């Protein structure tokens, strides 16, 4: 959520950012409305405060007056106040609601260091790590490998739950489980504290991390109980500290959590339908940090390094992409993506997205920090995948495939797979 004070004091500067950096005219319009409504609200506040002050002093006088007659007279003098205050309060509540709904629709402001650009076409590849593997044969896609080796069952996934669902079976299921355990262990080693959060959350959590109200059509919801299914562990983990003031000495707080993630993915039929790249349910290991504002950018770099560590240890080729302003997500102020090369599908797969949100989420979720007698200030929140499982699985299967159709198990995973070194076709 935007700092209303900033918008009030430097309206032109903020509007220029929406217009010239984010190329988002709609946001600029919302901001303009917000400035207007905020000005009106401030007038009404002055009125209500004054009325209330008069009421309070009047009522106190009644309390101090012992003589019944004089008391009656004092009470009579208060006639009409209640109505006036109620009226003003009502007007105020309406304006507050307007401000809230406008403010919640505004995207975050990009960090000054983010390069300007209109779309993902202008994103910059910062570095490419690990050479793409050379294959003496045409590398197969994971959907072929997975079915041939009995690791992935597409048909039955669709039978059970419909399009964009699949099952992992046998060694396939175990490989994913091994990746999850191993990733969490690596992140714990990096200093993250493990969390097992709820998969169903209240709506206010999604407002806190900014999936709501704007992206309501991307999340699954249980109407009966008003629960939402988490689209990412970011939601429950970030909301752990909602409405809290954290001791500055405890920062940075670093958590790692594994959850299934549920997304409606309302996109055109036929796009990205092949394989396990994009589904309504997928697993992800997520890192979440709460840091002092001045640590935001250095902590983002460390977060990226921690995610990269996973790909390095898996010996998978990858690249780091820096998002331009126009390709930032709604709530990010700076963001890097990690993409791993999948030789079978012949594309770079986004396996991690690492962002700092500045104080954008902290304002929405009221997560603050305080040192001694200083005034509380908003923390900065960051998160990054470490990593998304299906695409990591794709990259492992496709990069580690051998000419005979078998797949080598990455060295770091073997101890998590009962020592298994090679995945071969199951006996019929």
Partner RNA sequence: GGAGGAGUGGCCGAGCGGUUUAAGGCGGCGGUCUUGAAAACCGCUGGAUGAAAGUCCCGGGGGUUCGAAUCCCUCCUCCUCCGCCA
Question: What positions carry a catalytic annotation?
Answer: 263, 278, 350, 353, 391
Q: Does 58 bind RNA (CB under 7 A)?
A: yes
Cβ-contact 290, 246 below 8 angstroms: yes
Tell me which stretch binds RNA (CB under 7 A): 44-52, 293-301, 353-361, 391-399. 44-52
Q: Does 375 bind RNA (CB under 7 A)?
A: yes
Instruction: State the minimum distance, in angstroms, from the CB of residue 358 to RNA.
Output: 16
Q: Which residues pair with 103 in a beta bridge?
A: none
Nearer CB in complex with RNA: 158/200: 200
Nearer CB in complex with RNA: 337/359: 359
Q: Does 64 bind RNA (CB under 7 A)?
A: yes
Instruction: State the minimum distance, in angstroms, from the CB of residue 2 to RNA.
Output: 12
Alpha carbon distance 10, 30 (integer Å): 15
Tell me which stretch binds RNA (CB under 7 A): 47-55, 99-107, 185-193, 420-428. 47-55
Site for RNA (CB under 7 A): how many residues? 31
Determine which residue in the list 52, 133, 214, 313 makes contact with RNA, applying CB under 7 A: 52
Determine which residue in the list 11, 23, 32, 45 makes contact with RNA, applying CB under 7 A: 45
Nearer CB in complex with RNA: 1/171: 1
Q: Does 92 bind RNA (CB under 7 A)?
A: no
Nearer CB in complex with RNA: 42/127: 42
Determine which residue in the list 53, 73, 371, 424 makes contact with RNA, applying CB under 7 A: 53
Q: Does 59 bind RNA (CB under 7 A)?
A: yes
Instruction: State the minimum distance, in angstroms, from the CB of residue 35 to RNA.
Output: 13
Binding mask 245-274 vs RNA (x if CB under 7 A, - otherwise)? Answer: x-----------------------------
Nearer CB in complex with RNA: 4/167: 4
SS (H, E, C) the chain: CCCHHHHHHCHHHHHHHHHHHCCCHHHHHHHHHHHHHHHHHHHHHHHHHHHHHHHHHHHHHHHHCCCHHHHHHHHHHCCCHHHHHHHHHHHHHHHHHHHHHHHHHCCCCCCCCCCCCCCHHHCEEEEEECCCCCCCCCCCCHHHHHHHCCCEEHHHHHHHHCCCCCEECCHHHHHHHHHHHHHHHHHHHCCCEEECCCCEEEHHHHHHHCCCCCCHHHCCEECCCCEEECCCCHHHHHHHHCCEEEEHHHCCEEEEEEEEEECCCCCCCCCCCCCCCCCCEEEEEEEEEEECHHHHHHHHHHHHHHHHHHHHHCCCCEEEEECCHHHCCCCCCEEEEEEEEECCCCEEEEEEEEEECCCHHHHHHCEEEECCCCCCEECEEEEEEEEEHHHHHHHHHHHCECCCCCEECCHHHHHHCCCCCEECCCCC
Cβ-contact 382, 151 below 8 angstroms: no
Tell me which stretch binds RNA (CB under 7 A): 51-59, 132-140, 162-170, 288-296. 51-59
Instruction: State the minimum distance, in angstroms, from the CB of residue 311 to RNA.
Output: 35
Tell me which stretch binds RNA (CB under 7 A): 21-29, 286-294, 368-376, 400-408. 368-376
Q: Does 370 bind RNA (CB under 7 A)?
A: yes
Tell me which stretch binds RNA (CB under 7 A): 147-155, 188-196, 211-219, 369-377. 369-377
Which residue ranges make up the site for RNA (CB under 7 A)? 4-5, 42, 45-46, 48-50, 52-53, 55-60, 62-64, 71, 75, 78, 81-82, 93, 245, 368, 370, 372, 375-376
């Amino acid at each position: 959520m935007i700092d209303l004070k900033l918008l009030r004091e430097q309206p032109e500067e903020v509007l220029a950012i929406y217009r010239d950096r984010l190329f988002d005219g709609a946001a600029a319009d919302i901001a303009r409305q917000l400035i207007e409504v905020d000005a009106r609200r401030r007038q009404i506040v002055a009125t209500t405060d004054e009325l209330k002050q008069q009421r309070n002093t009047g009522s106190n006088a009644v309390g101090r007056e012992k003589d019944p007659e004089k008391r009656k007279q004092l009470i009579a003098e208060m006639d009409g106040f209640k109505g006036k205050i109620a009226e003003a309060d009502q007007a105020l509540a309406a304006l507050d609601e307007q401000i809230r709904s406008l403010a919640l629709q505004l995207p975050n402001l990009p960090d000054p260091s983010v390069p300007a650009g209109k779309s993902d076409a202008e994103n910059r590849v910062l570095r490419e790590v690990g050479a793409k593997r050379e294959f003496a044969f045409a590398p197969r896609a994971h959907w072929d490998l997975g079915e041939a080796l009995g690791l992935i069952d597409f048909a039955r996934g669709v039978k059970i739950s419909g399009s964009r669902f699949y099952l992992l079976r046998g060694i396939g299921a175990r490989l994913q489980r091994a990746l999850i355990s191993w990733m969490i262990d690596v992140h714990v080693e990096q200093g993250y504290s493990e969390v097992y959060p709820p998969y169903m959350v209240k709506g206010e959590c999604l407002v806190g991390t900014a999936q709501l109200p704007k992206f309501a059509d991307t999340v699954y919801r249980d109407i009966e109980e008003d629960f939402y299914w988490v689209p990412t562990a970011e939601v429950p983990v970030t909301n752990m500290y909602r409405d809290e003031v954290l001791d500055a000495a405890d920062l940075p707080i670093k958590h790692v959590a594994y959850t299934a993630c549920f997304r409606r993915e309302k996109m055109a039929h036929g796009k990205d339908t092949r394989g396990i790249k994009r589904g309504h349910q997928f697993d992800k290991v997520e890192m979440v940090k709460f840091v002092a504002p001045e640590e935001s950018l250095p902590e983002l770099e460390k977060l990226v390094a921690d995610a990269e560590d996973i790909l390095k240890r898996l010996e998978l080729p990858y690249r780091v992409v820096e998002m331009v302003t126009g390709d930032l997500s709604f709530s990010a102020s700076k963001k890097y993506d990690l993409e791993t090369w999948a030789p079978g599908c012949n594309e770079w797969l986004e396996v991690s997205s690492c962002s700092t949100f500045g104080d954008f989420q902290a304002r929405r979720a009221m997560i603050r920090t305080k040192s001694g007698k200083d005034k509380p200030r908003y923390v900065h929140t960051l998160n990054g995948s470490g990593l998304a499982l299906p695409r990591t699985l794709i990259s492992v299967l496709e990069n580690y495939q051998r000419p005979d159709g078998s797949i080598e198990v990455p060295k770091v995973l073997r101890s998590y797979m009962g020592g298994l070194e090679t995945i071969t076709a199951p006996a019929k």
